[in-house]
Amino acid sequence: MVSPPTRYACTPGCRLGTGPQQRNPTRRGHTRPSSRSETLITSPDPILWISTGTCALGPYRPDLVETYWRWEQDPSLLVGYGRQSPESLEARTDGMAHQLRGENIRFTVYDLTGGAPVPAGVTTLLPDHGVRTAEFVIMLAPEARGRGLGREATRLTLDYAFHVTNLRMVWLKVLAPNVAGVNAYLKAGFQKAGTLRQSGYWLGEVCDEIVMDAIGSEFSGPSAVKNLLTP
């Protein structure tokens, strides 16, 4: 069996799935942003598909490419992904067009704790439609970490994967020294499924990768998707 491509899930650190599109009512009557960067971060009325009240998922946005790029160059995220060099903004902009045309399911993660939705990360499902499974990847902005937002975004993505995309199983790989990441995934509903020995690097040292999975039939707790359909 050919091994799937390596993508490291990290909490320090395409075809969009269809879903209910609801605009955020708190953005009505907002004032005009004073800078281009502020426009990128708080662009008016972002579409929110599903939400927990403090975290939401919405469409992947080409107007946020510079923001996504900034998050991706954070050194702690580079370590978590096993990448060894940064990427130029030009290359990232070119890559965005390819991502929007691809079949992977990507979401912008929003932080709702301040009232207005603020982009705080990206989650991705890389589906294998033949067997109804997908690999999971998450990226959080440096300023969004350490507050449980990654755990909520992960659960929302699993909720969508099982109840909208109708996947049977979602899996990920995380570098074994990333203990915070492993614990966050366990709390979000993943379980340890195995170990790939000496298959990654962490701070210049060879390390193992932990394979984790989540199964739709075991998804428990509140479902934001089901709540949308409840009268």
- Can you tell me whether residue 144 is helix, strand or coil? helix
Q: Quickly list DSSP for 1-26.
A: -PPPPP-B--S---PPPP---EE-GG
Nearest Cα residue to 44 out of 34, 35, 33, 55: 33
Residue 185: active-site member: yes
Give the helix ranges, DSSP H, for 122-178. Answer: 149-163
Please tell me which residue in 60, 68, 81, 185 is annotated as part of the active site: 185
Alpha helices in the chain (DSSP H): 36-42, 65-72, 75-81, 89-101, 149-163, 179-188, 224-228
Measured from the Cβ of residue 189, the count of other Cβ atoms closer than 10 Å reads: 21
Residue 105 CA to chain centroid, in angstroms?
10
Tokens of 107: 């979401």
Known catalytic residues are: 185
